[in-house]
Structure formats: structure tokens, C-alpha cells
Amino acid sequence: MNKTSPGLSLLLLVLLSAGCGIFRPAAGDTGDLPGRSAKFLVKKMAQNQVQCDWFSARARIDFKDDNYSVSATANLRMRNDSVIWANVKKLNLEMGRALIRPDSFFVVDRINRQYSRKSVEEIAQMLQVPANFQILESILLGNPFFLNAELESGVEEGFYTLKGEDKRFAVTYHLDGKDFSLRRFSISEKQEKRLVSMELKGYEALGKKQKFSYFRTMRMESPESGPVSVEIEFSKVEIDIPKSIEFEIPSRYDEINRP
């Protein structure tokens, strides 16, 4: 088969968009905010990042594009700088399973009995979003990832903002006026007219000093894909508890896009 199935596409998008969301107003401090430097705001964002060696969670996912709409649940597991694992189920039936390492991306489609193996860079190019293993880790945890762009600070709609751009990308962060948590994020590829935007909501305590966003939505749009939206609700989030990572490709499965 040369065409990726809807179930396989959903699994890929879950892993590349688990930290992304639709760009719309979120709750924040709507009063007057004192000016803050870009250096100060970047430091606050860094301090608010979730840090852990292990991460696991369950997620409810609602996916929609111009041609396809589906709801499913996913189990997610991650070991820092090593591996990301996920399976996606619908009505207790496993649709697919994925294993991501810094240099490889394996996805098994249970419904159509096929699999794909690519580099993370190839998957990012296929879905027209910027990604590498470190970015995937960041968006799974709800952490910001930074491009090589000089940022300028400001205030908009009761949020602190950080904006910057380089030759290829333009990026904007919106931070809560009270606790400086990341509330909105967008990155656009200027010449190709591609956009990934996000919102993070439902922050709750995770561990002793960290907070985690349990509700996220995402929008991707490009000339190739059209509008794509994914809403994700996390539950059963755990950090620093080792989990088993089981992944195998049945010998009877066909490889997608094999030479």
C-alpha cells in the first residue's frame, strides 16, 4: 500500500500534536500587567517546564479534518531522551501502536495489518510540521520548544507575549499574567503558509513543584493538508515511575511505502 490509512494518520498526529492546540482566548490575568523583559519571560518559561525521567498518561483524542473525524483513547509512555511509546484504541480495539527513538519512528496499523518505519524528520516532512525527538518530548509534556530566533516581549489581551522569527519561521508565545505558565503558542512557516497553533488549559499540580496541562487542543493548517484539529484530554498522568515498553511488528504485516 502507498497511502497511509486514517488510523495510521491519527496515530502519527497524536504523537506530533499532543502538546499543540487551537489559538483562541484562554483564561488569564486580564488586568494591567507591568512590563517584563524577554530574558525574564524566557527564564520563567524554562522554570515552568515539566522535568522527569519517565512520563505516562492516558489521553482522550478527538481528531477532525475535512475528510475524516474520529474519537479514540491513547496510552502514552516516555523515557527521557530515549523512547516514546503509544497505542491508540477505539471501543477497546487497538487501532495502532508506535515506538519513537531519537533516530527512528515505527508505527503499526492493527486495523489494516501494515506498518511504517521512518526517521522522525521524514514523519515531520510528511505531516508538514517541524519536529525532532526533543521537540516531541517537549510537546508531550506541554513544554515550550525554542527556535533560533531572537525574542521580543510585550503584552496582549492580558497575556505576556514573546515573539520572534528567523528566515523560515515566525513564533509567538502567550504566557499567563499571574504565574507565567504557557497558555498559547503558534509557529508559522512563512513562505509555505503552514501554521501550527496551540492552547494549554487545565493546569494542575504534578509532583511537589510542577504543573501539567490536562486539556489541550491543536490546529494545523497547510496547503497540503487543509485544516486539521485535535482535542486532547489527559488523565492518569504519572512521572518518574518506570513503565514497560513492549513493541513488535508481526511478520505477516506489510510495510507501507517500502522500496
Confidence of residue 146 (pLDDT cuts 50, 70, 90): low
Where are the strands (E) in the chain, listed by range?
Answer: 54-65, 69-79, 83-90, 93-101, 104-109, 114-118, 152-156, 159-165, 169-175, 182-189, 194-206, 210-222, 226-239, 254-255
Q: pTM for this structure? A: 0.81
Confidence of residue 245 (pLDDT cuts 50, 70, 90): very high
What average pLDDT does the chain have? 83
Q: Is residue 63 part of a domain?
A: yes
User: Does the CA dihedral 133-184-210-59 come out positive or negative?
Assistant: negative
Residue 201 domain boundaries: 6-245
CA 79/CA 167 separation, integer angstroms: 33
Q: Is residue 13 part of a domain?
A: yes
Q: Is residue 1 part of a domain?
A: no
φ/ψ of 176, rounded to 5, equals -60, 140
Q: Is residue 259 part of a domain?
A: no
Check pLDDT > 80 for residue 121: no
Q: Is residue 85 part of a domain?
A: yes
Provide the pLDDT for residue 114: 94
Q: What is the pLDDT of residues 67-94, one digit of tens each?
A: 888 899 999 999 999 999 999 998 888 9
- For residues 174 and 225, the model is more confident at 174
Give whole-number Cα distances, 226 to 68, 70, 128, in Å: 12, 17, 11
Looking up residue 192, the CATH number of its domain turns out to be 2.50.20.10
Provide the pLDDT for residue 92: 86
Check pLDDT > 90 for residue 155: yes
Taking residues 197-210, what's their average pLDDT?
Answer: 90
Check pLDDT > 70 for residue 14: no
Exposure letters 186-209 (e unless 16+ CB within 10 A, then b): bbbbeeeebbbbbbbeebeebeee
Confidence of residue 206 (pLDDT cuts 50, 70, 90): very high
Q: Which three cell numbers stand for residue 57?
A: 498518561
φ/ψ of 212, rounded to 5, equals -130, 140
Q: Is residue 99 part of a domain?
A: yes
Confidence of residue 189 (pLDDT cuts 50, 70, 90): confident
**Cα–chain center distance at 30:** 27
Total of domains in the chain: 1
Q: Is residue 255 part of a domain?
A: no
CA 32/CA 47 separation, integer angstroms: 23
Q: Is residue 118 part of a domain?
A: yes
CA 47/CA 67 separation, integer angstroms: 40
Give me the amino acid identity at 106. Answer: F
